[in-house]
């Protein structure tokens, strides 16, 4: 499912935010957006997902503009860095609520719970789950509408090594289900073997866009991370 971003920008102040960015992502790519804190990675993903209203520019996924929100959100799933589930309710309640809003079948809920090893936690309230389990439930929730394009904003933030590995395994799983994936990370080494393409943001601007092999040999990598 292809993505087209044209002159998308959002500035919070003169030095914070995202300057006009244009890029396109082909179907089936697994793209990592890397950069230091405040580089504009989360802003880019929030703009693509519709969480933020842009100052300028447009986004299209599979030919559908983000302005047509109701049609657009069926194509794009978004996993924010902090799980935003109704934490006083159970995992299953959350899945049922969002499945209802997406018009998804209850069979899909069972499938996703099974796929994400959440069956034994289906009745557990979200606030009692560990960070890793919450993130798993969050990813599962984003897949309820079976979107072709998925955005992950810092999916491993605050997770330990084991859980980080678990989340990256899920990310690979999602990608192998023929979905286009765009995710952010501020630790490029972690995604060396994961991404098929790397986009580097620095101070709100794209400074590199290419395959991982090329990136890790580039001057940009040396200047920013070494």
- State which residue, 28 or 50, has the beta carbon closest to other proteins: 50
- By CB under 8 A, the residues from 113 to 142 that bind other proteins are 141-142
Q: Pattern of binders to other proteins over 185-214, x per CB under 8 A? A: ------------------------------
Instruction: Determine if 71 is a binding residue for other proteins (CB under 8 A).
Output: yes
How many binding residues for other proteins (CB under 8 A)?
A: 25
Residue 67 sits in the site that holds other proteins (CB under 8 A): no
Hey, which bits of 12-146 come out as E strands? 17-25, 30-34, 56-61, 64-65, 76-79
**How many angstroms from the chain centroid is the CA of residue 52?**
14
Could you give the CA distance from residue 103 to residue 115 in angstroms, rounded to a whole number? 20
Which CB sits closer to other proteins, 73 or 167? 73
Whole-number Cα distances in Å, 106 to 1, 97, 116, 153: 25, 10, 16, 27
Nearer to other proteins, 72 or 208 (CB): 72
* Per-residue mark of binding to other proteins, 41-60 (x: CB under 8 A): --------xxxxx-------
Residue 125 has what DSSP assignment?
A: B
Q: Which residues pair with 111 in a beta bridge?
A: none
| Cα 94 from Cα 101, distance rounded (Å) | 11
d(CA 47, CA 30): 19
Q: Which residues on neighbouring strands pair with residue 181, listed in sequence order?
A: 30, 150
Q: Which of 24, 101, 169, 189 binds other proteins (CB under 8 A)?
A: 101
**16 versus 69: smaller Cβ distance to other proteins:** 69
Binding footprint of other proteins on the chain (CB under 8 A)? 49-53, 69-71, 73-74, 77-78, 80, 82, 84-87, 98, 101-103, 141-142, 145
């Amino acid at each position: 499912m292809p993505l087209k971003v044209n002159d998308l920008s959002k500035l919070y102040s003169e030095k914070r935010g995202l300057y006009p960015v244009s890029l396109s992502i082909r179907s089936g790519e697994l793209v990592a957006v890397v950069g230091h804190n405040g580089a504009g990675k989360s802003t880019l993903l929030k703009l693509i997902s519709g969480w933020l209203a842009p100052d300028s520019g447009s986004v299209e996924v599979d030919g559908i503009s983000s302005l047509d929100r109701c049609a657009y959100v069926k194509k794009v799933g978004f996993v924010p860095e902090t799980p935003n589930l109704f934490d006083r309710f159970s995992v299953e309640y959350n899945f049922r609520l969002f499945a209802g809003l997406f018009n998804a079948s209850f069979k899909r809920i069972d499938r996703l719970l099974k796929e994400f090893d959440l069956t034994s936690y289906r009745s557990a309230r979200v606030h009692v789950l560990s960070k890793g389990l919450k993130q798993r439930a969050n990813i599962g929730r984003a897949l309820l509408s079976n979107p072709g394009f998925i955005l992950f904003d810092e999916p491993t933030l605050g997770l330990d090594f084991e859980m980080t590995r678990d989340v990256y395994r899920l990310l690979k799983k999602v990608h192998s289900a023929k979905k286009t994936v765009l995710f952010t990370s501020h630790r490029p080494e972690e995604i060396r073997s994961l991404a098929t393409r790397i986009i580097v943001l620095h101070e709100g601007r794209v400074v590199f866009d290419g395959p991982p092999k090329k990136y890790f040999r580039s001057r940009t990598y040396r200047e920013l991370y070494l």
